[in-house]
Amino acid sequence: MTPLRWATLVAALLLAALAGVMLGTLRLAPLDVVRGALGQGAPIDVAVVRTLRLPRVVLAALVGAGLGAAGAALQGATRNGLAEPYLLGVSGGAAVGAVCAVALHAPAALVPIAGFAGALGAVVLTLVVARAAGGRGDARVVLMAGVVVGAFANAAIMVALANAQDNVVRGALWWMMGSVSDASWPQVRMAAVYVAIGIGVLLALARAIDVLALGEDTAAGLGIDVGRVSMIVYVAAALLAAGTVAAAGLVGFIGLLVPHLVRMAGARTHRVIIAAAALAGAALVVAADLVARTARPPAELPLGAVTAIIGVPFFLARLRRLT
């Protein structure tokens, strides 16, 4: 990727973030945003910037960065442009956890934790199923195991929601559609830790992912322990995705879409693809959250719906190029 394209990515993220803090029911000038962030200016501006919008924008950026990087690594390691971070049962498991928490009338703060636990449980189950099938590092077996666990989780959700009260169904659905509306600084700090660790691990493995993308036999011939390295990538990407689930629920399409975008922009090796996907994912989720928040005020659109609305036309365009 050229330096100009890197600069464009960084500028896109900064612009989206600035717009995310400026725009809303209370509109702020750029200077007010800076003053508010520094704790100066009108108290209402300071409160809006520091307590409401800045943590929300930073959390959205972290979620986007995590999903973008995880998607890029998974697509490379599985050699599959349709791989995305919610594979390996992450989305289904997270939804089961959240639905259970809502159905059991758990406090709202426990719903994301239950979603995270459900996602982790599903990842472990997927890897156990793949291992039992004899395909510890085989991308096809692991992806199929993820599909099976995801399908089972969906069936469990339907059973749980079939006889649930309306408010339980609504609460569960809203969580599954993704949102960063409850962002807070403690949440940001937690998300920053796992996103930094997850992306760090994936960047460290980037060169090995380049080799894995050549195919398992060729990678073995180049000295890669295919089973072990693939497994580390799957686990790191799935944990990253599960971490974003705890912060924002399910935000679809970002992990699938963003790696395609950065490859189209000229990123070829995975150190570049993963880093660029983190930046692009962050910019896209911040922008999508801005749309979700401002498209129909005072109501909010679900973040996951907005990211899907962005993603569908992109994939339709890709489909046209393939045919």
Rounded to a whole number of angstroms, the distance between the first and last alpha carbons of the chain is 27
Q: How far does CA 194 lie from the centroid of its chain?
A: 12
- x/- map, 209-238, another protein, by CB under 8 A: -xx-xxxxxx-xxxxxxx------------
User: Where does the chain have alpha helices with state H?
Assistant: 3-22, 30-37, 43-47, 54-78, 90-103, 110-132, 139-162, 166-176, 185-204, 206-212, 216-221, 226-248, 254-264, 270-294, 303-322
Residue list 67-126, contact with another protein (CB under 8 A)? 76, 79-81
247 lines the binding site for another protein (CB under 8 A):
no
Q: Which is nearer to another protein, 229 or 251 (CB)?
A: 229
Query: In sequence order, what DSSP letters do the residues of 252-273 get, joined into one string?
Result: -SHHHHHHHHHHHTT--SHHHH
Check residue 322 for interaction with another protein (CB under 8 A).
Answer: no
For residues 169-200, one letter each, b for 16 or more C-beta atoms within 10 angstroms of the residue's C-beta and e for the rest, the string is bebbebbbbbbbebbeeebbebbbebbeebbe
In this structure, the number of other CB atoms found within 10 A of the CB of residue 40 comes to 11
Dump the DSSP string for 72-139: HHHHHHHT-TT--TTTTTHHHHHHHHHHHHHHTT--TTHHHHHHHHHHHHHHHHHHHHHHHTT-SS-H
Q: Hunting for tokens 């691990």 — which residue is that?
A: 201
Give 41 or 81: the residue with its C-beta nearer to another protein.
Answer: 81
Residues touching another protein, count (CB under 8 A): 27
Report if residue 268 touches another protein, rule: CB under 8 A.
Answer: yes
Q: How far is the CB of 275 from another protein (least distance, A)?
A: 15
Q: Is 200 in the site for another protein (CB under 8 A)?
A: no
Q: Does residue 204 touch another protein according to CB under 8 A?
A: yes
Nearer to another protein, 159 or 222 (CB): 222
Q: How many residues make up the chain in this entry?
A: 323
- The residue among 137 and 252 lying less far from another protein, judged by its C-beta, is 137
Nearest approach, Cβ of residue 282 and another protein (Å)? 22
Least distance to another protein, CB of residue 150, Å: 23
Q: Which is nearer to another protein, 223 or 298 (CB)?
A: 223
Least spacing, CB of residue 315 vs another protein, in Å: 17
Q: Which of 105, 140, 207, 318 binds another protein (CB under 8 A)?
A: 207
* Minimum CB–partner distance for residue 214 and another protein (Å): 6
Residue 275 is a binding residue for another protein (CB under 8 A): no
Give the other-Cβ count within 10 Å of 154's Cβ.
Answer: 14
CB of 147 to another protein, least distance (A): 20
**According to the binding rule CB under 8 A, does residue 269 interact with another protein?**
yes
Give the C-alpha separation, 95 to 247, whole Å.
13
Closer by beta carbon to another protein, 134 or else 313: 134
Name which of 73 and 242 has its Cβ closer to another protein: 73
CB atoms inside a 10 Å sphere around CB 152: 17
Closest approach of Cβ 103 to another protein, in Å? 42
In this structure, what token pair is assigned to residue 252? 């679809």
Where does this chain bind another protein (CB under 8 A)?
76, 79-81, 134, 204-205, 207-208, 210-211, 213-218, 220-226, 263, 268-269
